[in-house]
Amino acid sequence: MRAFLAGLEETGDLKRITRKVDARFEIASVLSLRERGPAQFFETVGGSPMPVVGNLFNSRARFARALDIAPEDLDTACLNALQNPARPVLIEDAPVQAVVHRAPFDLGALLPVPHWFEKEAGAYITAGVIVARDPETGRRNVSIARLRLEGGGRIMAGIARNHHLAMLAEKARLRGHALEIAVAIGNHAAVLIGSQMYLGLGDDEFDIVGGLLGEGVELVKCRTVDLEVPAHAEIVLEGELRPEDLIEEGAVSEFPGFYVYYGPGIGGEIKCVTHRRDAIYQAILPGYAAEHCLLGAVAIGATLTRDLRRSIPAVRRVLVTEGGMGRLHAVISMHRPRLGEGKRAVLLAVGLVNLLKHVVVVEDDVDIEDPRQVEWSLAARFRGHEDLIVLPGVKADRCDPLHEDLVVTKIGMVATTRPGDGEAGGRSEFARPPAAIYEHVRRNLDDY
């Protein structure tokens, strides 16, 4: 993350805020008002020796830049990583262990953890990449979940029951013990994206991180738990989740931008904190915010592209859109699909990703990152009486703002070409200057 911050500063993409800010709602307000554009670096946070950085990965281009690739190659890079994973590498001396604090301590005094929204009951760590091991198989899991500070070293983790970390906590509970965790904060973009990939239980997300990096991610053994963490993170918290110890969460923000009331979260305790000298605390603005939405969107889009292409070769790309909260809306692009193949893609997509609710399928001659072109497709190629799928009463994700008894209506709109479309003399033949002149000008456009 450090090298990336230095690069952003060089090109004016990092805004340094020198005035003292309060971690209680003031950081949240600045990040929210400057949701897009430069990353925000808070040099002086009241009551903490650590600076805070936020809005770091608030565009697809920013993710691409952090991975050292062109913006249009982001999806391909993610797809490649899924197909060419690389095992992590264990190293001995890690910058993230330069400073070690052992309990007792107050996490809130050690780290500048922001309070985000008015009705939430406490400060939340939002960019914490949580590493845990399956008590049954010993396989590693890497994911992000919100962690609320509960005073001292106590924490509460908010995790949906179907998430891998919650399943591991449940396995630990059935065995009558706690689940060791390590939380890495201030990570390379590859670690953040990799942690969000939809993999099978038992698949190690760090392998995908290695795929994104082009080499195994460097890990170091934790000091007090039997886990490994990214050696170049800024901060690591070591401790455990106690699945018997449930803590009522109350109101918490979710990606639709609304408060939700999920009930109790899993309690836990942090017993050791390690960090770099001059560590920087990374915060991700939660709720309906670009970075929060995109982080999920990039990973869901990549895994869905892989899965759909396995069954339907005409599928080119899946974009999970920011407007759809990075979770609920997808645009699928297909190349010359056969009759009915677009509908099949919709059914597979909403079947594979519980969150997806509205899916638009377009031809790959339009740019699915451009909402104007997607809308053009609907105007030019979507016939409401036969290209619309309405599926009432489908199992919904609990995060969907409109679910009723955990079911929702899912909708597909297929706006692709049909066999025969575009033929000379037909109603969908594009109007263009003569091809020879047009192509000549296109190749030499810089000269005009």
Question: Interacting stretch for Mn ion, rule CB under 5 A, among 56-64, 138-146, 374-382, 384-392?
Answer: 138-146
Closest CB to Mn ion belongs to which residue? Answer: 164
3-state helix, strand, coil in the chain (%, to 5): 30, 30, 45
Nearer to Mn ion, 164 or 188 (CB): 164
The C-alpha atoms of residue 345 and residue 359 are separated, in whole angstroms, by 9
Contacting range for Mn ion; rule: CB under 5 A; set: 15-23, 135-143, 306-314, 398-406? 135-143
**164 touches Mn ion by CB under 5 A:** yes
3-state SS assignment for residue 198: coil
Window of 141-149, 168-176, 331-339, 433-441 that interacts with Mn ion by CB under 5 A: 141-149
Q: Would you say 34 or 163 has its CB closer to Mn ion?
A: 163
Minimum distance of Mn ion from residue 195's CB (angstroms)? 9
* Smallest gap from residue 295 Cβ to Mn ion (A): 15
Q: SS3 letters for 336-347?
A: CCCCCHHHHHHH
Binding mask 362-401 for Mn ion (x = CB under 5 A): ----------------------------------------
What is the C-alpha separation between 120 and 211, in angstroms, rounded?
Answer: 37
- State the CB neighbour count (10 A cutoff) for residue 404: 10
Task: Decide whether 303 or 377 has the Cβ nearer to Mn ion.
Answer: 303
Q: Which residues of 160-189 are buried (b: 16+ CB within 10 A; e: fewer)?
A: eeeebbbbbbebbbeeeebbbbbbbbbbbb
Question: Could you tell me if 178 and 284 are in contact, meaning their C-beta atoms sit under 8 angstroms apart?
Answer: no
The residue among 147 and 299 lying less far from Mn ion, judged by its C-beta, is 299
- Which residue number, 117 or 198, has a Cβ lying nearer to Mn ion? 198
Q: Between residues 67 and 142, which has the closer beta carbon with respect to Mn ion?
A: 142
Q: Which is nearer to Mn ion, 138 or 420 (CB)?
A: 138
Q: Which of 141, 253, 274, 321 binds Mn ion (CB under 5 A)?
A: 141
- How many residues touch Mn ion (CB under 5 A)? 2
3-class secondary structure, 5: helix
For the CB of residue 206, give the shortest distance to Mn ion in the complex, in Å.
10
CA gap 232, 5 in Å, rounded: 14
CA-to-CA distance for 205 and 409, rounded, in angstroms? 32
Say whether residue 327 binds Mn ion (CB under 5 A): no
Give the amino acid at 33. L
Nearer CB in complex with Mn ion: 141/305? 141
- Amino acid (1-letter code) at residue 293: C
**At its nearest, how many Å lie between Mn ion and the CB of residue 141?**
4
Taking the alpha carbons of 281, 284, 290, 295 in that order, is the dihedral positive or negative? positive
Contact partners, residue 434, CB within 8 Å, separation at least 6: none
Nearest distance in Å: CB 138, Mn ion = 14
- Residue 408's H or E segment, with its range, is strand 407-415
Give the nearest distance from C-beta 355 to Mn ion in angstroms. 16
Q: CA-based Rg of the chain, rounded to a whole angstrom?
A: 23
Q: How far is the CB of 184 from Mn ion (least distance, A)?
A: 15
Q: Using the rule CB under 5 A, is 232 a contact of Mn ion?
A: no
CA distances from 57 to 8, 67, 174 (A): 11, 11, 38
Our measurement of the distance from residue 164's CA atom to the centroid of its chain's CA atoms, rounded to an integer in Å, reads 15
Looking at the Cβ atoms of 115 and 164, the one nearer to Mn ion is 164
CB 180 → Mn ion: shortest distance, Å? Answer: 16
Taking the complex as a whole, how short is the minimal distance between the CB of residue 161 and Mn ion, in angstroms?
14
Only one of the segments 121-129, 139-147, 363-371, 407-415 lies at the binding site for Mn ion (rule: CB under 5 A); that segment is 139-147
Strands 146-149 and 14-17: unpaired
Nearer to Mn ion, 180 or 364 (CB): 180
- Minimum distance between the CB of residue 143 and Mn ion, rounded to whole angstroms? 6
Alpha helix (H) ranges present in 312-392? 341-352, 371-381
Residue 230: how many CB atoms within 10 A of its CB?
27
- Please identify, using beta-carbon distances, which residue of 164 and 344 lies nearer to Mn ion: 164
> Of 10-18, 78-86, 120-128, 158-166, which part binds Mn ion (CB under 5 A)?
158-166
Say how far apart CA 363 and CA 377 lie, in whole Å: 8
Which span sits near Mn ion by CB under 5 A: 18-26, 134-142, 346-354, 386-394?
A: 134-142
Distance CA 138, CA 355 (A): 29
**Interface contacts to Mn ion, rule CB under 5 A:** 141, 164
